[in-house]
């Protein structure tokens, strides 16, 4: 690695000023699980590293009105151990528990995974399924964007030069709302070959309303399967409905070919993971 200037702002405003001043030559460091690897491989060139871990506001974690706030410097392990995440947003906890190993979950951050936008990463998938909102700051002010509008393709996002995601807000589940995360890997801790996240309202008679079905890893980014959602909305979760949804997912996912698996195999996995997700919530 070439010499890099290390910057450690103490406020969000200071971090935004440094990012604005140094432009494309600056990168943001939180946990570093993704950033350090791409710097070592020269996939990204940077002269300045802006370490945001000294900013107290970015360590916030917990209830905020009717949502669950996750600060940009909060590591995965703190989220998965939080009682609110485990009880009211089970899909979030399930997704985080699939990420790497304990060491990675202690160092890496959920917001870092959001910003990195790796198509095989778990955070973008579950964030989209949970209809999370990303709060973004810059020298020009602040803005909010939904997860479903944030991702634009392979490692592409709506984040502009000089902007910083300060925190993510995940809506808290109501009594009849449930979420789950299902993924398939070759080995525990590996990147997923395919993943499916589901959030929905489920009545006592197992009727689903407003389902959100999101597939990732098998595609260029988190992708909602609207055809599956339409087939499930206002439907009772019978075996036939689950079979139909799994087949619809398999047929409609725009899976990609790579050195790990063919598009056909990934499509098959998406169908089976959709089945697993639906069976897990009924």
Residues counted in the chain: 282
How far is the C-alpha of 192 from the C-alpha of 76, rounded, in Å?
Answer: 17
Question: Which pLDDT score is estimated for 1?
Answer: 55
Q: With the C-alpha atoms ordered 91, 95, 98, 102, is the resulting torsion angle positive or negative?
A: negative
Q: What is the model's pLDDT at position 228?
A: 98
Q: Give pLDDT, residue 84.
A: 94
What is the pLDDT, as a whole number, of residue 72?
A: 98
CATH number for the domain running over 5-51: 3.30.43.10
At the second CATH level, the architecture of 56-171 is 2-Layer Sandwich (3.30)
How does DSSP assign 214-273, residue by residue?
A: EEESSSSS-EE-HHHHHHHTTEE--HHHHHHHHHHHHHH------SS--HHHHHHHHHHH
Tens of each residue's pLDDT in the chain, 282 residues: 568 899 999 999 999 999 999 999 999 999 887 787 777 777 778 899 999 999 999 999 999 888 999 999 999 999 999 999 999 999 999 999 999 888 889 999 999 999 999 989 999 999 999 999 999 999 999 999 999 999 998 889 999 999 999 999 999 988 899 999 999 999 887 889 999 999 999 999 999 999 999 999 999 999 999 999 999 999 999 999 999 999 999 999 999 999 999 999 999 999 999 999 999 998
CATH architecture for the domain at 177-281: 2-Layer Sandwich (3.30)
Note the pLDDT of residue 267: 98
The two most distant CA atoms of the chain are separated, in Å, by 62
All CATH 3.30.390.50 domain ranges in the chain, comma separated: 177-281
Question: Which ranges in the chain are annotated with CATH 3.30.43.10?
Answer: 5-51
Strand-pair partners of 69: 62, 169
Q: Tokens 């990732």 map to which residue?
A: 216
Please tell me the predicted confidence (pLDDT) of residue 16: 98
Helix (H) or strand (E) holding 106: helix 102-107
Angle in degrees, CA 34, 37, 39, rounded to 5: 105
Facing residues of 172 across strands? none
pLDDT at 154: 81
Question: pLDDT at position 189, please?
Answer: 77
pLDDT value for 188: 82
Supply 214's token pair: 């999101």
User: Where does 177-222 show beta strands of DSSP type E?
Assistant: 177-184, 194-202, 207-216
């Amino acid at each position: 690695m070439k010499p890099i200037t290390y910057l450690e702002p103490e406020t969000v405003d200071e971090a935004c000023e440094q990012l604005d001043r140094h432009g494309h030559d600056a990168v943001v460091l939180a946990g570093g699980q993704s950033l350090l690897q791409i710097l070592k491989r020269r996939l990204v060139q940077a002269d300045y590293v802006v370490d945001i871990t000294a900013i107290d506001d970015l360590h916030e974690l917990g209830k905020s009105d009717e949502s669950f706030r996750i600060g940009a410097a909060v590591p995965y392990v703190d989220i998965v151990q939080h009682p609110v995440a485990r009880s009211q947003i089970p899909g979030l906890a399930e997704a985080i528990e699939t990420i790497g190993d304990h060491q990675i979950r202690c160092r890496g951050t959920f917001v870092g995974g959001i910003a990195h936008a790796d198509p095989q990463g778990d955070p973008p998938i579950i964030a989209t399924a949970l209809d999370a909102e990303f709060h973004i700051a810059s020298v020009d002010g602040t803005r909010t964007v939904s997860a479903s509008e944030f991702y634009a393709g392979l490692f592409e996002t709506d984040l502009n030069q000089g902007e910083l995601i300060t925190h993510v807000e995940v809506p808290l589940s109501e009594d009849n709302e449930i979420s789950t995360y299902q993924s398939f890997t070759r080995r525990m801790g590996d990147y997923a070959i395919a993943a499916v996240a589901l959030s929905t309202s489920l009545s006592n008679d197992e009727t689903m309303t407003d389902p959100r079905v999101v597939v990732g890893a098998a595609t260029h980014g988190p992708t909602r399967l609207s055809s599956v959602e339409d087939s499930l909305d206002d439907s009772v979760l019978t075996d036939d409905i689950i079979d139909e949804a799994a087949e619809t997912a398999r047929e409609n996912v725009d899976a990609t070919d790579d050195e790990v698996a063919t598009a056909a195999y990934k499509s098959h996995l998406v169908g089976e993971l959709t089945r697993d997700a639906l069976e897990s919530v009924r």
